[in-house]
Amino acid sequence: MKLREFAKQLGLSPTTVSRALSGYPEVSETTRARVASEAIRLGYRPDINAVRLKTGRAGAIGVMMARSGEIHFAEFMSGMAQRLETADTDILITPITAHNDDDEMQAYRRLVESRRVDAVIIHSPRPRDPRIEMLSSLRLPFLVHGRSETEHVHAWLDIDNENAVRRSTEHLLDLGHRRIAMINGLKGKTYSIHREQGFRLAHQERGLIADPNMMVCDKFSDESGFRHARSFLERANAPTAIVAGSTMTALGVYRAVRSLGMMVGQDISVIAHDDVFPYLTAENMVPSLSTTRSSMRAAGTRCAELTLQLIAGRAAEEIHELWPVELILRESTAPPR
C-alpha cells in the first residue's frame, strides 16, 4: 500500500500521516494513535529506504544495557518496542560493563561516530551526569529516563520518586511505626537521592529523625532484599516496618521474614515500589504487598514517543514530564504489635 492510498483510507493528508508515524510534535496524540493503530490493522509500512534516503536518518534509537541485565530493563524495552513497531525505527542495544563510566562513555562516542542512531536514551542518571554533558557537546539528541541537576538542558521523563517514598513512609508512620528501615536503590543515582529525601521528610514532618543506620543502598534484587532485611531484623532494636525499593527487593524481604519465623503484615510491615511486572504482581504475593505503583513498560512507550519527537525537531527544553505515583494499600502493612 502506498502512502497516498493509506492516507486516503484515513481521510488525512499524506503529510499528516507521514508526520504522525515519524513522531512530529505538531501532530496531536489522538491523530498519532489513530494512524499507528490503522497502520497495524491495514498492514501499511512506509518504504524505509526511501525515508532514510530523504531524511538522512539512521532509523534507530540507541540504548545501553549492562551485561548483567535486569528485569526492569526488559520491561522498559517492551514498552519501547510497542511504540516503535509502527514508526519503522529500530532499537540498537549496546552492551556495557555495569557501573563502568569509561566503558559507557566510549560506547556513546562510537555510536555518534558511526552514525548508526538518530538519538539515545539514558537511564539512571546522577545529579551531575557526565553522559549528559558529553552528548550535549556531540549534538546527538537524547532523552533521560530520570532527571539530572546538570546545567545542560536535557529532555527527561521521571516518576515522582520523592513523593512515592514520602507517601509510603507517611502511611507507616500513621499506622504507628517508629522504627522504619529503608532498602534504597543504587547510591548516588538521582532517583535514590530523591527517595531518601522523601523518607527523611516524612519523618521530619512529624518531628522525628530517620535513623541513618536503618537506611541502605543496593541494586534491586531478591538477594539484596534478603540480605539487608535479615541484617535489620536480627538487630536488638529491629525495625517494625521496611520500605523496599522494588517488588524484587520485597521478595527478598518476605523470604528473610519467613526465615526468622515471622510473618509479614503481623510481625513486620512491608511496602515497596511496584514497576508493574506481568510476571511479578504485588497483589499475588502472600500476603498481598502494599505498593506505590508506576508502570516501567508505560515509561518505555512514552520515552520512545518523546525520543521520536526529539528526532523530529522538538526542543529538549519542552520535554519535562514528572509522573505521579499511585499508593495502593494491601495486606502487608498494619499497625505494629
User: Mean pLDDT for the chain?
Assistant: 92
Confidence of residue 96 (pLDDT cuts 50, 70, 90): confident
Residue 36 has pLDDT above 90, yes or no: no
Q: Is the pLDDT of residue 166 over 90?
A: yes
Mean pLDDT of 5-18: 90
Nearest by Cα to 147 from 123, 166, 167? 123
- For residue 100, is pLDDT > 80? no
Range in 74-88, 89-103, 105-119 the model is least confident about:
89-103
Q: Give me the pLDDT at residue 69, please.
A: 54
- The C-alpha atoms of residue 199 and residue 190 are separated, in whole angstroms, by 14
Q: What's the pLDDT tens digit per position in 291-324?
A: 999 999 999 999 999 999 999 999 999 999 999 9
* Total residues belonging to the chain: 337
- ω into 287 cis (within 30 of 0): yes
pLDDT digits (tens, 9 = 90+) for 219-259: 999 999 999 999 999 999 999 999 999 999 999 999 999 99
Q: Is the pLDDT of residue 269 over 70?
A: yes
Specify the pTM.
0.84
Confidence of residue 23 (pLDDT cuts 50, 70, 90): confident
* Reported confidence tier of residue 156, pLDDT bands at 50, 70, 90: very high
Q: pLDDT digits over 101-135, tens only?
A: 788 888 899 988 888 999 999 999 999 999 999 99
3-state secondary structure string, the chain? CCHHHHHHHHCCCHHHHHHHHHCCCCCCHHHHHHHHHHHHHHCCCCCHHHHHHHHCCCCEEEEEEECCCCHHHHHHHHHHHHHHCCCCCEEEEEEECCCCHHHHHHHHHHHHHHCCCCEEEEECCCCCCHHHHHHHHHCCCEEEECCCCCCCCCEEEEECHHHHHHHHHHHHHHHCCCCEEEEECCCCCHHHHHHHHHHHHHHHCCCCCCCHHHEEECCCCHHHHHHHHHHHHCCCCCCCEEEECCHHHHHHHHHHHHHCCCCECCCEEEEEEECCECCECHHHCCCCCEEEECCHHHHHHHHHHHHHHHHCCCCHHHCEEEECCEEECCCCCCCCC
| pLDDT (average), residues 1-18 | 88
The residue ranking higher by pLDDT, 19 or 285, is 285
113 Cα distance to chain centroid:
28
Residue position matching grid coordinates 514497576: 275
Q: Which of 31-35, 101-105, 167-171, 297-301 has the lowest mean pLDDT?
A: 101-105
Span 183-210, pLDDT tens digits: 999 999 999 999 999 999 999 999 999 9
**Distance of CA 323 to CAs 193, 302, 308, 316, Å?**
17, 11, 19, 18
Among the listed ranges 45-59, 69-83, 323-337, which one has the minimum average pLDDT value?
Answer: 45-59
Q: What integer pLDDT is reported at residue 22 of this predicted model? A: 75
What's the confidence (pLDDT) of residue 51? 57
Please report the domains of the chain, with CATH numbers, ordered by start residue.
1-53 (1.10.260.40), 58-157+295-321 (3.40.50.2300), 160-293 (3.40.50.2300)
Q: If pLDDT is split at 50, 70 and 90, which confidence band does 97 have?
A: confident
Higher per-residue confidence, 208 vs 45: 208
Rounded CA separation 11/322 (Å): 35
- Model confidence band, residue 271 (pLDDT cutoffs 50, 70, 90): very high
